[in-house]
Structure 1
Amino acid sequence: MDEPLKVWFLAPEVAPFAKTGGLADVAGSLPSAIRRLGIDVRVGLPFYRTVKEANFSIKRVLQGLEVPLGDKTLPCDVLETRTSEGILVYFFDREDFFDRADLYGDQDGDYPDNLERFAYFSRAALVFAKESGFCFDVVHCHDWQTGLIPVYLKTICRSDPFFSQAASVFTIHNVGYQGLFPADSLSACGLPPSEFHPEGVEYWGKISLLKAGIAYANAITAVSPRYSREIQTSEFGMGMDGILGNRSVDLYGILNGVDYSAWDPATDKHISVHYSVGNMKGKGACKAALVREMGLDECILDRPLLAVISRLTVQKGYDLLLDVAEDVIGMDAGLVILAAGEKKYQQALDALAQEHHGRMAVRIGFDDPLAHRIMAGSDMLLVPSRYEPCGLTQIYALKYGTVPIVRATGGLDDTICQFDPKSGEGTGFKFTEYDATAFLHQIKAALNAYHDRRTWRKVVRNGMNADFSWEESAREYVSLYQQIAGKGASHG
């Protein structure tokens, strides 16, 4: 019997251990789906303070692993746990790099030594694989923090027989995060000056770890089919469209899945009453509970309640939201927003909420249980993103019978089908042009559907019956692993 394919799955954050965004959800759930397809997958991430302080059952399995970094050799401790699905997860511990309040930076910005921190993690993961005898066929890397791993495999590890067959996949979760560092830091991550060139790690006179991953990996993936096409254009490529276009034959769009064990109104531990597509009574109870919790007027119980759950950034379309908020409230609807991010948007939203007290409520900060209650208690979810690699909230919304109104970009376009009242087909409402008029037009279309009970039941049911679990996407990843396994440093 053939040995199973071995995959070393390396990410800067993995749920439930460490999380700042959707990348952690992907890295926390995709390996389980891959394992169910017969792959020997093991996961690695840094041992952050957030992991150390949580109550996970983790044991130290190796002390003093020697990790070469530039002209130094730094020791590393390795810890291990096993998930409920039986997947081994390894943590790479060096206190001066990872024992910090946050993962990538603080209120003053990114940590200035992020290049050294993630170069160290990347080298440590490769050294540990060799030390422990885990002869992986494919290393699956995620975002700029792991962008040096494909480089190392094709440079300093190239002559080592242990790594000679190892191939790499590099997944872009957001091309806007590019891992930019000064050119003179190259030696700090152990790379020779010969790698600093336009086809290598050089990007407009700086080092880009995102570009490094794109340039050196055997295969590149983006987190939705539409996004994989968009990032090859100047509008969405954020300056990386040239190299992505050059590597288009190796670039694949594979849609993110979701973990329904965490997001399902039939079992959700954060909501007051459970419900399902076969029994929707609980959704009304969830709406009543949310209206009370957010201090909205009771009249909202009989009116449409629209929600926003996202980061407060220009990417998420807050300029459009601010443009249409008063119109939405003027159409006899309620509006509830859970968000954290840029102060200028916080202040604008707070001012609107005060002006429209009882009709609009805003909560600033990341509150996962509240996100679940808003998802269950709202009628519609607004996602007017300027760009969206994949997006998960709109997929969660479908499951909760909360109809998405989205901009047709990236994964939003791939996951939401425009509702057609005549045929009764579709799962939400989409607008294409990035402007308030187009956005408002689709909000009005959704409100019209809401006021026709039969039509609304149809669009809600369509969404709740949609399936975005990981199985299909995992099959696509495994097919890609099989395609590149054994190609190693000599290809791509």
Structure 2
Amino acid sequence: MKVLLAASEAVPFVKTGGLADVIGSLPKELAKQGQDVRVMLPKYEGIPAHYTEQMERVAEFTLQMGWRQLYCGILKLVHEGIIFYFVDNEYYYRRSGCYGYGDDSERFAFFCRAVLDSLPHIDFMPDVIHCHDWQAGMIPVLYRAHFSWQPHYANIKTIMTIHNLKYQGVFSKEQFKDYFALGDEHLGGYALEMYGGASFMKGGLVYSDVITTVSPTYAEEIQTPYYGEYLDGLLRSQRHRMCGILNGIDYAEMDPMTDPHLEINYRDSHTKKQLNKVKLQERLGLPINKDVPMIALVTRLVDQKGLALVDRMIEELLRMDVQWVILGTGEHRYEQLFRWAADAFPDKVSANIMFDEGLARQIYASSDMFLMPSQFEPCGIGQLIAMRYRSVPIVRETGGLKDTVMPYDEATGEGTGFSFANYNAHDMLYTIERAVAFYHSPSDWSRILANIKRKDFSWRKSASQYAALYNQLVKPSTELVK
């Protein structure tokens, strides 16, 4: 099975969010399971030099985008056994960062076109093109409109994976006509039309063969108005070709036994985890106390992550006998909230308004609990890493958080964390207080950690579901993977 993943970012080359983690780690597990899987990305300026210096230029050609005749180069790099291709055009990609430019519609229109145009030049004609988020969303549209009738392209199937429905790549219809040479029949309400313009994301949803999301619960949620971002009606109509497959994490990369960022490596040793806590307390200037509960937030500081609930309850949270460690950047008001808390309560709060991967790993390894009160969460990776490092998650029951964290039941001894259903600040406070109370009950806490130990959130199971989905597309059977 030949599979090409098309996405706008991937670890270790470039990362702005969880999409990069998925594209960096999923292909390795797919390859282990026998797939010939490759990845195509834009060649951004920010890719570290030690990778760009190893790249081999494998193709150069002229790409037709509307009326434009554009240079397109394809570079190749084998990383950890996976072939990565990089779409090169300095006008579009020789800039800092990935997104946020006024011509993003044109930049990712070029990327979508380049993915399809490049296939004969790289001598790789995939059975499946697996498109990720809005930046790759027009690939299924272009395939249907301009490529599917060509003999050597005729049998390709396309999958559209939604990592976050909130971001839809909506631009003017005139731009879509210009860049993609599409007629009005493609720009109406059932096709690409969105908010009076047109949408990359909607294009991928309508024109792909299969739609997936990054968790089963999110697949259900986005069919409702609350989570559906005005696409819930479309998604309900397409539910017969939609499924949710949980993200995983790279267990080789995320391993407290071998993680070079940790002061003391460990697996299930509570004593060694506490030693990491003491080292982190020393580093951050918090009072040294291995027995005080430490709750972590490693997150983007934005509304989606439920920080309005934290803001609403900040005084009650700071009255608790708990240490708080925050790491992340985002909206000014939340950065200022945590800076204020750290200034007012330096013995209880460490606010690190930045992102530092090494410090993040130390926080996972040192914290006793990990808070994710998200308003919505398509999958969430933080709770999976937390459990890998034996930090007990406290989450809101939404999306992948609901799928991966089983609430603790003291009557049965089952459960891997603590959760609350309603997006309500008092419910969050009560759940945190309950978690802290069980932390002080060693028998209950040991039971929770033992339950976490038995869970497997590696990519193995999820990759096998994707592999089965690819097989069903190429060799059709009766129903999709559920």
Tell whether the structures are fold-level matches, with TM greater than 0.5: yes
The equivalent residue for 1:346 is 335
Q: How does 1:137-216 map to 2 (within 5 A)?
A: 137-193=127-183, 194-216=185-207
Unaligned stretches of 5+ residues in structure 1: 105-109, 488-492
Deviation at 1:461, TM superposition (A): 2.4
1:33 is aligned with what amino acid? E
Q: How does 1:310-321 map to 2 (within 5 A)?
A: 310-321=299-310
2:459 is aligned with what amino acid? W
Higher deviation after alignment, 46-55 or 174-183:
46-55
Question: 1:265 aligned to 2:256?
Answer: yes
Deviation at 1:57, TM superposition (A): 5.2
- Asked whether the equivalents of residues 304 and 334 of structure 1 are also in contact (C-alpha less than 8 Å), the reply is yes
- Asked whether the equivalents of residues 59 and 121 of structure 2 are also in contact (C-alpha less than 8 Å), the reply is no
Higher deviation after alignment, 130-139 or 245-254:
130-139
The equivalent residue for 1:79 is 75
Post-superposition CA distance 1:184-243 (Å, at most 9, x none)? 101332232221111111112111101111010000000000000000000101111111
The equivalent residue for 1:88 is 83
Question: 1:243 aligned to 2:230?
Answer: no
Unaligned stretches of 5+ residues in structure 2: 477-482
Q: How does 1:313-392 map to 2 (within 5 A)?
A: 313-392=302-381
Deviation at 1:313, TM superposition (A): 0.7
2:57 is aligned with what amino acid? V
The equivalent residue for 1:408 is 397
Post-superposition CA distance 1:70-92 (Å, at most 9, x none)? 111211111111122x2211111
Q: Distance in 2 between matches of 1:126 and 1:29?
A: 23
Q: Distance in 1 between matches of 2:471 and 2:60?
A: 34
The equivalent residue for 2:427 is 438
Q: How does 1:472-491 map to 2 (within 5 A)?
A: 472-485=461-474
Q: Distance in 2 between matches of 1:309 and 1:374?
A: 8
Deviation at 1:352, TM superposition (A): 1.6
Q: Distance in 1 between matches of 2:54 and 2:223?
A: 42
- Asked whether the equivalents of residues 401 and 463 of structure 1 are also in contact (C-alpha less than 8 Å), the reply is yes
Deviation at 1:62, TM superposition (A): 3.1
CA RMSD of aligned residues (A): 1.3
Q: Distance in 1 between matches of 2:148 and 2:266?
A: 55
The equivalent residue for 1:490 is none
* Counterpart pick for 1:59 among 51, 55, 77: 55
Post-superposition CA distance 1:302-355 (Å, at most 9, x none)? 211111010011000111112233323312111111111111111122112111
With normalisation by structure 2, the TM-score equals 0.96
Q: Distance in 2 between matches of 1:249 and 1:90?
A: 33
The equivalent residue for 2:295 is 306
* Counterpart pick for 1:467 among 431, 451, 456: 456
Runs of 4+ in 1 over 3 A off after TM superposition: 52-57
- Asked whether the equivalents of residues 173 and 222 of structure 1 are also in contact (C-alpha less than 8 Å), the reply is yes
Post-superposition CA distance 1:352-411 (Å, at most 9, x none)? 211111111101112111110111111100000000000001011111111000000000
Post-superposition CA distance 1:233-291 (Å, at most 9, x none)? 001011111111111101110000110112111111111001112x3321011100111
Higher deviation after alignment, 57-66 or 361-370:
57-66
With normalisation by structure 1, the TM-score equals 0.94
Q: Distance in 2 between matches of 1:149 and 1:328?
A: 47
Q: Distance in 2 between matches of 1:404 and 1:436?
A: 17
* C-alpha distance 459-57 of structure 1, shift in aligned 2 (>3 A): farther
Higher deviation after alignment, 131-140 or 52-61:
52-61
* Counterpart pick for 1:129 among 106, 119, 123: 119
Equivalent pairs: percent with the same residue? 39
1:127 is aligned with what amino acid? D
* Counterpart pick for 2:247 among 248, 253, 256: 256
- Asked whether the equivalents of residues 225 and 411 of structure 1 are also in contact (C-alpha less than 8 Å), the reply is yes
The equivalent residue for 1:286 is 276
Q: How many residues align?
A: 475
- Asked whether the equivalents of residues 275 and 281 of structure 1 are also in contact (C-alpha less than 8 Å), the reply is no
Q: Distance in 1 between matches of 2:53 and 2:89?
A: 19
Deviation at 1:55, TM superposition (A): 4.2
- Asked whether the equivalents of residues 223 and 389 of structure 1 are also in contact (C-alpha less than 8 Å), the reply is yes
Q: Distance in 1 between matches of 2:48 and 2:280?
A: 34
* Counterpart pick for 2:14 among 15, 18, 37: 18
- Asked whether the equivalents of residues 399 and 465 of structure 1 are also in contact (C-alpha less than 8 Å), the reply is no
The equivalent residue for 2:480 is none
Other structure's SS at 1:61 match: strand
Q: Distance in 1 between matches of 2:374 and 2:13?
A: 28
Q: Distance in 2 between matches of 1:126 and 1:38?
A: 24
* C-alpha distance 72-63 of structure 1, shift in aligned 2 (>3 A): same
Q: Distance in 2 between matches of 1:434 and 1:125?
A: 41
Q: Distance in 2 between matches of 1:197 and 1:394?
A: 40
Deviation at 1:56, TM superposition (A): 5.2
Question: 1:113 aligned to 2:108?
Answer: no
Q: Distance in 1 between matches of 2:103 and 2:400?
A: 33
- Asked whether the equivalents of residues 307 and 334 of structure 2 are also in contact (C-alpha less than 8 Å), the reply is yes
Q: Distance in 2 between matches of 1:144 and 1:434?
A: 27
Post-superposition CA distance 1:391-439 (Å, at most 9, x none)? 0010111111110000000000000001112221110000001111111
Deviation at 1:60, TM superposition (A): 2.9
The equivalent residue for 1:30 is 26
Question: 1:46 aligned to 2:35?
Answer: no
1:352 is aligned with what amino acid? A
Q: Distance in 1 between matches of 2:20 and 2:53?
A: 19
The equivalent residue for 2:479 is none
